[in-house]
Copies of this chain bind each other. A is one copy, B any other.
Amino acid sequence: MTLSSIDAARLLGRLRELGDIGRDADGRLTRLAASDTERGGRDRFVSWLEAAGLDVAVDRIGNIFGIWATEGIADRPPLMLGSHIDTVINAGIYDGCYGVLAGLEVIETLKASGYMPGRPIVVAAFTNEEGVRYAPDMLGSLIYSGGLDLDAALATIGTDGSVLGDELHRIGYAGDREPGFLKPHAYLELHIEQGPVLEREGVALGAVENLQGISWQKVTIEGDANHAGTTPISMRRDAGYAAARVVTFLRERAKASNTPTVATVGCMAFEPNAINVIPSRATFTVDLRDPDEARLQQEEAALADFLDTLSSEEDVTISVERLARFEPVMFDAGIVAEIETAARARALSCRRMTSGAGHDAQMIARIAPAAMIFVPSKGGISHNPKEFTGDDELVVGANVLLDVTRKLTQGE
């Protein structure tokens, strides 16, 4: 069987073209959600949708949809392909845009080939996935899946003081469709990995079977600020040392556990932060992630137990504040298997994996069977101008998206 392929030049050309919208004089790419530069990206995307002969729809939270519905199937639940085109500050060109443009590319390829899908195929670009300008992140897909009140979301104040609803009006993307107006039959998101696993293992594709649950906590340890010279070790209540013990505990536990659990202490501050004063206070964050909810709860409990023990061993006072908590998301096993099958048919190496980052797919998974396909990220780098995936790797990913799309839209 000969497999058809997407138009590599068209896909890569659009990726670069979109990647030039929002570059400042220093060459830095920034397209924050609902900003003027993002309007430029949206307008270009919509022009491509129209040129491809798709029906364009925009919902009230600004999500954009390009709909391909051939005669007689318009009422069937569509297969939805999608991601986002907003970016972080000083971004790379792949994050989100790759999935959106590959979705469009797949539809155009199928259309041009005379394919007759059994259900509509839709490409979606969701609003404010990055969450840099408005909180929470993945806002557009969260609203679409009914997870947040629309009016509250439209009233969200951005980091720049702007109101999301006003900004959507201003840039012409306050649509009239109700979020959720198309209930997907299934949802597929192609994305760069944003991690180092595929590259280091030399694997072409990831069939993403789940997405880590996230637990964010802020820990504050209080001891005594005493003189570094005159206070014997045995008389210290050293908040900094106690904090260091938490950092090493988390790492040793994660290392010994033989599970995909990851634990990170990213923020750390000592007070008074003076060279010759024992820290009276240490404040730090703990980021725990695991694709299994029971295990994530186990890790949280183990940390709580350790903090209890530490508090008495080091005679310090410890308080914990929960900053964020998301349960893991299980993707659809059937779709994951189709991704593996499609990769095998093209003789591509493929591994099941967990997404360590959040994606629109986790929100749409609330209302439809969903899964993701990952392609390698050079050095695991993302949210950075150095974000990079090779052209061949991008094309490979889009071709597998094409195959799975065909599979999921065959017959009725």
When chains A and B are docked, how far (Å) is the Cα of A268 from the Cα of B257? 29
A269→B255 CA distance, assembly (Å)? 24
Say if the beta carbon of A135 comes within 8 Å of chain B.
no
Residue among B200, B230, B248, B287 making CB contact with A275, cutoff 8 Å: B287
A382 interfacial contact with B, CB 8 Å:
yes
A265 with B241: CB separation less than 8 A: yes
Copy number of this protein in the oligomer? Answer: 2
Across the interface, A266 reaches (CB within 8 A) one of B232, B262, B274, namely B274
Q: Are B323 and A196 neighbours in the complex by a CB distance under 8 Å? A: no
B196 and A230 within 8 A (CB)? yes
Cross-chain contact A231 with B275 (CB below 8 angstroms): no
How many residues of A are in contact with the other chain, CB < 8 A?
A: 60
Residue among A216, A245, A263, A266 with the highest chain B CB neighbour number at 10 A: A266
Q: Which of A262, A276, A355 has the most CB of B within 10 A?
A: A276
Q: Which of A32-80 contact B (CB under 8 A)?
A: none
Question: When the two chains form the complex, which single residue of B231, B235, B255, B358 contacts A233, counting CB atoms closer than 8 Å?
Answer: B255
Render A197-211 as a binary contact track against B, CB cut-off 8 A, 1 for contact: 100100000000000
CA distance A228 to B383 in the complex (A): 13
Smallest beta-carbon distance A323→chain B, Å: 7
Tell me whether A380 and B227 are in contact in the complex, defined as CB-CB below 8 angstroms, given that A248-B244, A267-B274, A274-B267 are known contacts: yes
Question: Cβ of A409 < 8 Å from any Cβ of B?
Answer: no
Query: CA–CA, A228 to B245, complex, Å?
Result: 19
Interface residues, chain A, CB within 8 Å of chain B?
A: 193-197, 200, 212, 214, 216, 226-235, 238, 240-241, 243-245, 247-248, 251, 254-255, 260, 262-270, 273-279, 282, 285, 287, 289, 323, 355-358, 380-383
